[in-house]
Structure 1
Amino acid sequence: MSLPPFQALVDEHWRDVVRLARALAGPVDGDDVAQRAWEKAFAAYPKLTSARNLRSWLLTITARCATDLHRARKPQSPLNEDLPIAMDGPDATDWPDPDLWRAVNALPERQRFAVTLKYVGDLDHHGVAAALDTTPAASRRLVSDALATLRSKLGVDDD
């Protein structure tokens, strides 16, 4: 099995990694999460046994790096009102539909991560499940519950 050069992987997927990192960690910490994800991917790359679905592999690493960031902060900040999607700070105006992101931010952590991986990371339920260490059925449920909550909070009808 032959893996593409790591730089080719970076060139092809850097936007996806940064976009997901910023969605999960906020515009301020997102770049640090993306950098950490690339470091972990680089260290693990020589040991990969399959070149299948490298994008999903990268986004899973990115999600886990964002999770690590939030877990590291929890003891320091018991209210965590701005995690994981920080809507304050200098880049807050760069986020489209801030009301939506505030509602996403208010979701329980696993729902927040699942819906972000699905719709920002563009992962299928198998990819979301892999990133969250759960099953595809549980991933579907997390996303479904998150969407129902968001529709309710934002006053969106299912019609």
Structure 2
Amino acid sequence: MKVRPFEEVVARHGATVLRVCRAVVGPVDAEDAWSETFLSALRAYPDLPADANVEAWLVTIAHRRALDVGRARSRRAHPTDTVPERADPTADPAHRDPDLWPALQRLPDKQRLAIAYHHIAGLPFAEIATLLGNSPDAARRAAADGIKTLRKHWIEDEKP
């Protein structure tokens, strides 16, 4: 099978990649994700096996690049008219309920960190897995087990 020039690949699959990007990040950031997709694809294209499913390969890259663009957008600073003098201490769940910290401290480290990273910081499990040195499934499981244990501790602490 003859390998097509990259320009033909872009022409043939560009619309599909753009639809994937729009579905993942919306119309505002879709073009950035589309561009990132084809930049990544261009770098890897020479090593792509001749019998590879190019469209599936591009859709996989598009999905990942769109997620990256969406994460980058969520981390950008947003201008505001007023800046608070200091952070609102009631935003911290442990401050709203001082009994929460002792219950969190009793959790194993990976469970406590998975809960903090996901439910408090809002990180996806793939990033949590990198931080904890395990797989995304293990990070998801640690967070779920931690919440289950936390609920159990919470109920025990509430008993008179």
TM-score with structure 2 length normalisation? 0.44
Q: Which protein has the larger Cα radius of gyration, Structure 1 or Structure 2?
A: 2
Higher RCO (C-alpha under 8 Å, 6+ residues apart): 1
Higher helix share goes to which structure?
A: 2
